[in-house]
């Protein structure tokens, strides 16, 4: 049992690090400014294009949902999940909405074709518009999943 917990913790940590690296790379790519900073240019050398990883559309959507949550709302969500889908020992590791979503995804509580729990949580904390955005994106297949 202890071995499984450590393995689960390692997987969670690796997922967080991978997403953070992906987000950092995405920000670096999109922050390149054209001549004299007048126009933003998305710059990616041709050599990098074939080797770069793409962020799944579901993760981009989760990041947008996360951006719409205050730290207080994330805490409310964590409190609703504690001792159910969220283990107490993992609670303090989660610092923001995206961290919570990655955790829920790693435990199988949410996925790109199962967002019911997340929509319910968003509704319970008074952020139903975000839940509607998530549900609409999934149901309209705009994510190219």
pLDDT at 139 (0 to 100): 86
Cα separations in angstroms, 83 against 77, 78, 80, 86, 135: 12, 10, 9, 6, 26
12, 113, 143, 76 alpha-carbon torsion, rounded to 10°: -60
Residue in 63, 61, 1, 55 with CA at minimum distance from that of residue 29: 55
pLDDT at 143 (0 to 100): 54
How confident is the chain (145 residues) per 10-residue block, as mean pLDDT?
48 58 49 40 42 80 96 97 92 95 96 94 97 91 54
0.75 exceeded by the pTM?
no
Q: Which domains does the chain have, with CATH numbers?
A: 19-54 (no CATH), 56-145 (1.10.533.10)
Which residues lie below 8 Å from residue 70, measured CB to CB, with a gap of 6+? Answer: none
């Amino acid at each position: 049992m202890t071995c499984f917990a450590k393995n689960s913790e390692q997987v969670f940590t690796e997922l967080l690090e991978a997403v953070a690296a992906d987000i950092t790379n995405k920000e670096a790519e999109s922050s390149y400014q054209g001549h004299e900073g007048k126009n933003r240019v998305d710059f990616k050398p041709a050599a990098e294009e074939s080797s770069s990883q793409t962020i799944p559309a579901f993760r981009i959507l989760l990041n947008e949902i996360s951006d719409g949550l205050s730290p207080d709302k994330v805490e409310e969500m964590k409190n609703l999940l504690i001792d159910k889908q969220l283990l107490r020992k993992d609670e303090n590791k989660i610092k923001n909405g995206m961290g919570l979503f990655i955790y829920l995804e790693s435990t199988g509580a949410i996925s790109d074709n199962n967002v019911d729990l997340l929509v319910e949580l968003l509704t319970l904390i008074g952020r139903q518009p975000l839940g509607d955005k998530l549900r609409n994106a999934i149901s309209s297949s705009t994510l190219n999943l």
